[in-house]
């Protein structure tokens, strides 16, 4: 397949002028500019040729049972091989709900792939090709460990719109971009290199042909806006996916806000530390005695700061990488007094992502979490929602839908999974005679009532 290198003439001219600088007294200036432009284009091609053999087109078949009916669809994206035995990094949203994954390599070969692990919080996934026993080592790309700065030339590789491989060039527009709601653990690289649908999961590389990030978001709000997960975050998460099959983030239940917020005109009277703005319900932090407006000065004796919003991901990542089995010592300033609070984290998802299965009704439920379910959190900060529905079950026949918020079961108020579990057990005892229960639900902000019958044992 031929390479598609999008290198506008204006960009080549700008590069040439930039490289030649202010050599206006050189009679050969025009020739030098042309030569430097050719050298730059040669370097771009060399970098692309180095990584193209590791580029992968990812095709998935997805299945969704959320509506109570089996339905399947296909989706595609890009990925990059990072080891000689066929490990591939891509985006979580590319392979989400996949029942089968097939990867097309640069040389035309196609292989099925297993999902080793994925992480919704950072939108990363690790795949492993199902290679024949005597398959030769595959070409792979390496991560860059050089500092990335604004103005660095980069190239986005992928399969945009499902077309053959392509490469587009641009610069790093911002090396520390904070995107609230997209990842609490990582900043982003912003680039004007074109990232189109289908490029998701492909690599962003430097002119040395090394990965500086994984392409994820493109054209938010229009214009040449692309966003990439930095290589440092990718390597950290991939190592954990390889070891655990998931990111295994530690969860304290602490919410922070920056000390200085220009957009909201908030300026706290502190120059350092991290200000607690909220505590998650049933969280280790709440049980340990933290309070809103506590100022965290240090974690295990190491100073922490969240002066601006760009500082928040590093703080959340630091806490998220703490081991579950050890207490963490927080140095906290409260009402002018310094105190120490010990807190042992839980695995993220053990509470937030815990699932209750109401088997005879035919649905499962999870707790609402502001990071995973921001739309539901808007309507009900504390509560549970329908996570999955069994096809042809009583829940399916009653028109219960995925993401419905459960407000009541009969007369029992539902705020937690424990409430739902208790209400379900009581309904099993009573409804063996009446065989029906009334669920009060909230759907898109509207309260409804549904009748669900109990399935025979």
If one compares 187 and 1, the residue with the highest pLDDT of the two is: 187
Q: Do 173 and 41 belong to one domain?
A: yes
Q: Do 190 and 148 belong to one domain?
A: yes
Rg (alpha carbons) of the chain, rounded to whole number: 26
Domain of 167 in residue numbering reads as: 1-246
What is the tens place of the pLDDT at every residue in 58-111?
Answer: 999 876 544 444 555 678 899 999 999 999 999 998 988 788 999 999 889 999
Picking from 166, 81, 93, the residue whose alpha carbon sits closest to that of residue 127 is 81
Q: Do 127 and 39 belong to one domain?
A: yes
Residue 368 CB burial class (10 angstroms; 0-12, 13-18, ≥19):
buried
Picking from 438, 433, 431, the residue whose alpha carbon sits closest to that of residue 454 is 431
Q: Do 323 and 360 belong to one domain?
A: no
Residue 433 pLDDT exceeds 60: no
Query: Catalytic site residues?
Result: 93, 123, 200
Q: What's the pLDDT at 6?
A: 46
Q: What's the pLDDT at 349?
A: 67
If one compares 131 and 7, the residue with the highest pLDDT of the two is: 131
Residues 6+ apart with CB under 8 A from 22: none
Phi-psi region of 86 (alpha: psi -120 to 50; beta: other; left: phi over 0): left
Q: Do 213 and 67 belong to one domain?
A: yes
Q: Do 139 and 161 belong to one domain?
A: yes
pLDDT bucket at 353, cuts 50 / 70 / 90: low
Name the domain boundary from 246, 279, 307.
Answer: 246
Partners of 189 in the beta sheet? 228
pTM comes to: 0.73
Q: Do 304 and 359 belong to one domain?
A: no
Domain count, the chain: 3
Q: What's the pLDDT at 427?
A: 85
Residue 386 pLDDT exceeds 90: yes
Q: Do 88 and 9 belong to one domain?
A: yes
Name the domain boundary from 246, 267, 299.
Answer: 246
pLDDT, average across residues 15-23: 45
Task: Extract the tokens encoding 116.
Answer: 């080793």
Q: Do 107 and 84 belong to one domain?
A: yes
Q: Do 90 and 157 belong to one domain?
A: yes
In whole angstroms, give the CA distance from residue 224 to residue 361: 49
Q: Do 187 and 292 belong to one domain?
A: no
Percent of the chain with pLDDT over 70: 85
pLDDT, average across residues 234-249: 94
Q: Do 239 and 282 belong to one domain?
A: no
Picking from 38, 45, 50, 47, the residue whose alpha carbon sits closest to that of residue 9 is 38
Are the beta carbons of 277 and 256 closer than 8 angstroms? Answer: yes
Are the beta carbons of 231 and 143 closer than 8 angstroms? Answer: yes
CATH of the domain at 397: 2.30.42.10
In whole angstroms, give the CA distance from residue 239 to residue 233: 10
pLDDT bucket at 10, cuts 50 / 70 / 90: very low
Name the domain boundary from 322, 347, 372.
Answer: 347
CATH of the domain at 68: 2.40.10.120
Are the beta carbons of 320 and 348 closer than 8 angstroms? Answer: yes
CA quadruple 89, 87, 316, 192: dihedral, nearest 10: -20
Matching residue, tokens 């932090």: 285
Cβ count near 245 (within 10 Å): 13
């Amino acid at each position: 397949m031929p390479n598609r290198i999008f290198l506008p003439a204006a960009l080549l001219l700008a590069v040439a002028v930039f490289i030649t600088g202010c050599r206006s007294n050189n009679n050969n200036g025009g020739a030098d500019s042309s030569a430097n432009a050719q050298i730059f284009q040669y370097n771009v091609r060399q970098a692309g040729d180095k990584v193209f053999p590791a580029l992968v087109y990812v095709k998935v078949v997805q299945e969704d049972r959320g509506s109570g009916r089996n339905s399947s669809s296909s989706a595609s994206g890009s990925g990059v091989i990072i080891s000689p035995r066929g490990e591939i990094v891509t985006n979580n949203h590319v392979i989400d709900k996949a029942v089968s994954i097939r990867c097309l390599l640069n040389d035309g070969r196609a292989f099925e792939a297993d999902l080793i692990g994925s992480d919704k919080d950072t939108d990363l996934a690790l795949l492993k090709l199902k290679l024949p026993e005597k398959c030769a080592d595959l070409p792979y790309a390496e991560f860059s460990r050089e500092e990335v700065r604004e103005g660095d030339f980069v190239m986005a590789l992928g399969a945009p719109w499902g077309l053959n491989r392509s490469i587009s060039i641009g610069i790093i527009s911002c090396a520390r971009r904070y995107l609230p709601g997209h990842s609490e653990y990582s900043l982003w690289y912003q680039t004007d290199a074109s990232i189109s649908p289908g490029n998701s999961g492909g690599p962003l590389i430097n002119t040395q042909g090394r990965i500086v990030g994984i392409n994820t978001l493109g054209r938010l709000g229009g214009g040449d806006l692309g966003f990439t997960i930095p290589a440092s975050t990718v390597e950290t998460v991939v190592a954990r996916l390889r070891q655990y099959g998931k990111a295994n983030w530690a969860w304290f239940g602490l919410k922070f806000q920056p000390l200085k917020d220009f957009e909201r005109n908030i300026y706290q009277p502190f120059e350092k530390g991290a200000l607690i703005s909220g505590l998650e319900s049933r969280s280790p932090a709440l049980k340990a005695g933290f309070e809103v407006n506590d100022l965290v000065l240090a974690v295990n004796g190491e100073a922490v700061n969240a002066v601006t919003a760009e500082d928040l991901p590093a703080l959340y990542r630091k806490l998220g990488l703490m081991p579950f089995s050890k207490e963490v010592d927080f140095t906290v300033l409260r009402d002018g007094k310094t105190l120490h609070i010990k807190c042992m984290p839980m695995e993220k998802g053990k509470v937030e992502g815990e699932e209750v299965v109401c088997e005879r009704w035919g649905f499962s439920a999870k707790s609402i979490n502001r990071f995973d379910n921001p739309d539901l959190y808007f309507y009900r900060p504390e509560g549970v929602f329908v996570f999955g529905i069994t096809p042809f079950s009583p829940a399916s026949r009653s028109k219960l839908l995925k993401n419905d918020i459960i407000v009541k079961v009969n007369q029992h108020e539902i705020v937690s999974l424990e409430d739902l579990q208790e209400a379900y057990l009581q309904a099993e005892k009573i409804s063996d005679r009446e065989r029906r229960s009334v669920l009060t639900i909230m759907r898109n902000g509207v309260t409804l009532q549904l009748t669900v019958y109990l399935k025979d044992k």
